[in-house]
Amino acid sequence: MKPAPFAYRRPGSLSEALAALAGEANAKVLAGGQSLVPLLSMRLAAPALLVDINGLPDLAAIEVTDDGVRVGALARHADVLAHEEARRVQPLLAMALHHVAHATIRNRGTTVGSIVHADAAAEMPVVLILLGGSVEVESTAGRRTIAADDLFLGPLESSLHHDEIAVQAFFPALPPGAGVAFDEIARRHGDYALCGVAALLRLDPDGAVVEARAGFLSVNELPTVVDLTAAVAGGVDDVSLAAAGEAALTGLDPEGDIHATAAYRAQLVRVLTARVLRAAYDDALARSAAASTGPSTERTR
């Protein structure tokens, strides 16, 4: 269980890092290493060169504005999770990050790394798609922005080119009238989930549901978002939530593996969809109530 030999560079500037990547077709970026080092140790990956970005502290910034949260490539999961402003502007971030591995892994692993690693069992890719976020990437040829919808191509495969570094991920703010929720089922605390669901539900000023979407991890080969507005537009109750669970399955194709059969995963989709949509609805109601009674009311959670 030791990695194969590789060359190693630890650049002191982003342009140096980009040049190093451009100069070697079989190079990989080393961020937190919490996914890459196990792959190297198991010899599932054997790059010729690792470009370590841990010497670029500028990439560690977390920037919060009214539009949303910008997370730099070196911001660790733990830093994003602890960021009060980020939690206020987009509460789904902290809700989901809480389920990413355990604290020790979150101390080193990066949120951007977990997005571009593109694991369908990971929490952050599906959160980024559900929120309509994006990733900013840079190479020696320049910068481009990749929308979350165009980012995930296959299991562990993103649309980044080999010479690109993801410098930042953007998570849009929670829109007015919206609520969010997250839940997952894992065999053990900190394990990758057997099934996880993130939901965003939006109410109009009269309290009617105008948008309800849910993102699913560990169900399909790719993180997948399903629109469930039709199922709950008439009201949120046990019957409509059960219908939403069935509607979710029409947009998914649960797979069986050694951890769970396809039928069990489908059952988790039904149960978690209902549970998380209800929680997102309650969250939307609570935020709307707090917003209408003025700014002195507790809004963070």
Partner 1 sequence: MTEELHEVRLSVNGTTREVRVPARRLLSDALRHDLGLTGTHVGCEHGVCGACTILVDGRPMRSCLLFAVSAVGTEITTVEGLTNPDGSLGHVQQAFAECHGLQCGFCTPGFLTTITAGLRENPSPTHDEARDMIAGNLCRCTGYQNIVKAVERAAVLGLDTVAARPTRPTNESARDEGAS
Ligand X SMILES: Cc1cc2nc3c(=O)[nH]c(=O)nc-3n(C[C@H](O)[C@H](O)[C@H](O)COP(=O)(O)OP(=O)(O)OC[C@H]3O[C@@H](n4cnc5c(N)ncnc54)[C@H](O)[C@@H]3O)c2cc1C
Binding site for partner 1 (CB under 8 A): 1-8, 10, 30, 33-34, 37-38, 40-42, 50, 52, 54, 78, 101-105, 107-108, 189-190
Angstrom distances, CA of residue 101 to CA of 41, 75, 78, 188, 224: 19, 16, 11, 10, 20
CB 40 within 8 A of CB 46: yes
The entry of partner 1, ligand X, none near residue 117 (CB within 5 to 8 angstroms by kind) is: ligand X
Distance CA(301)–CA(289), nearest Å, equals 14
Least distance from ligand X to the Cβ atom of residue 108, Å: 6
The entry of partner 1, ligand X, none near residue 5 (CB within 5 to 8 angstroms by kind) is: partner 1
In terms of CB distance, is 41 or 297 closer to partner 1? 41
Per-residue burial over 193-232, b if 16 or more Cβ lie within 10 Å, else e, is bbbbbbbbbbbeeeeebebbbbbbbbbbebbbbbebeebb
Least distance from partner 1 to the Cβ atom of residue 26, Å: 15
In terms of CB distance, is 10 or 162 closer to partner 1? 10
Least distance from ligand X to the Cβ atom of residue 198, Å: 12
Backbone dihedral region for residue 235 (phi beyond 0: left; psi -120 to 50: alpha; all else: beta): left
Backbone phi, then psi, for 197, in 5-degree steps?
Answer: -135, 130
CB 250 within 8 A of CB 269: no
Least distance from ligand X to the Cβ atom of residue 8, Å: 13
Name the residues that contact ligand X, by CB under 6 A: 28-36, 73, 100-101, 105, 109-110, 112-114, 116-117, 122-124, 160, 165-166, 192
In terms of CB distance, is 31 or 212 closer to ligand X? 31
In terms of CB distance, is 167 or 252 closer to ligand X? 167
In terms of CB distance, is 53 or 248 closer to ligand X? 53
Least distance from partner 1 to the Cβ atom of residue 119, Å: 14
Least distance from partner 1 to the Cβ atom of residue 72, Å: 18
DSSP 227: E
The entry of ligand X, partner 1, none near residue 52 (CB within 5 to 8 angstroms by kind) is: partner 1
Least distance from partner 1 to the Cβ atom of residue 150, Å: 30
The entry of ligand X, partner 1, none near residue 73 (CB within 5 to 8 angstroms by kind) is: ligand X
The entry of ligand X, partner 1, none near residue 139 (CB within 5 to 8 angstroms by kind) is: none
The entry of partner 1, ligand X, none near residue 123 (CB within 5 to 8 angstroms by kind) is: ligand X
E strands present in the chain: 7-9, 27-30, 49-52, 62-65, 68-72, 134-139, 142-147, 152-154, 157-158, 165-172, 178-185, 195-203, 209-217, 224-227
The entry of partner 1, ligand X, none near residue 50 (CB within 5 to 8 angstroms by kind) is: partner 1
Distance CA(152)–CA(143), nearest Å, equals 19
In terms of CB distance, is 10 or 275 closer to partner 1? 10
CB 164 within 8 A of CB 69: no
Distance CA(86)–CA(95), nearest Å, equals 11
Q: Helix, strand or coil for residue 93?
A: helix
